[in-house]
Amino acid sequence: MSSEPADPLRADGVITRPSPYSAPETVARLEAEIARRGLTMFARFDHAANARAVGMTMPAATVLVFGSPRAGTPPMLEAPLLALELPLRVLVREDAGGGTFVSYQDPAFLAARYGLSADGIGPLAGVAGLVGAALSEPR
């Protein structure tokens, strides 16, 4: 049994949700949802594979970096330091108990941190819906 909470957890500006799928399937579902929404996949970091490449082991941990320059540019114009946080990222990881979790930065935390207006936070808020859609049952 996993030690992670069943409900989304908000801590230090990060939201973590359990996934009912394996880590590879969760990554694939997120990639499919990113593509379905017409977003750009900028990078994919497979930390576990990188660890294996240097003779080390770690549970699955993959970061997907994605977004839309059309959506992300206006908030960065409003708060230039927001460029440190964009494009958006999600982490898919396994814990020691074999549970899979998806984590991403809380858009409300980013808005408060960088002083974004309600309009400025709008483009960032879609990450929750994207993750929710990827973790839901097939339609």
Say if 7 falls within a structural domain: no
Q: Is 37 inside any structural domain?
A: yes
Whether 2 is covered by a domain: the verdict is no
In a domain? residue 1: no
pLDDT at 4 over 60: no
pTM greater than 0.85 (yes/no): yes
Collapse the DSSP code of 31 into the 3-class scheme (helix H, G, I; strand E, B; otherwise coil) and give the result: helix
Find the mean pLDDT for residues 22-27: 97
**pLDDT surpassing 80 at residue 124:** yes
pLDDT tens sequence across 111-122 = 999 999 988 888
User: Where does the pLDDT of residue 3 fall: very low under 50, low under 70, confident under 90, or very high at 90 and above?
Assistant: very low
- Say if strands 9-11 and 61-67 run parallel, antiparallel, or are unpaired: unpaired
What is the domain count for the chain?
1
Three-class SS state of 95: coil
Q: Which residues contact 6 (CB under 8 A, 6 or more apart)?
A: 18
CATH of the domain at 69: 3.30.310.70
Q: Which two tokens stand for residue 17?
A: 């949700």
Hey, what are 41's tokens? 């996949």
Residue 24 lies in a domain: yes
Is residue 3 in a domain? Answer: no
Beta bridge partners of 19: 100
More confident residue, 66 or 10: 66
Q: Considering the domain boundaries, does residue 90 fall inside one?
A: yes
Residue 111 has a pLDDT of: 93
Paired sense of beta strands 14-19 and 9-11, if any: antiparallel
pLDDT band of 43, cuts 50, 70, 90: very high
Supply the range of the domain harboring residue 38: 12-135
> Residue 127: inside a domain, yes or no?
yes
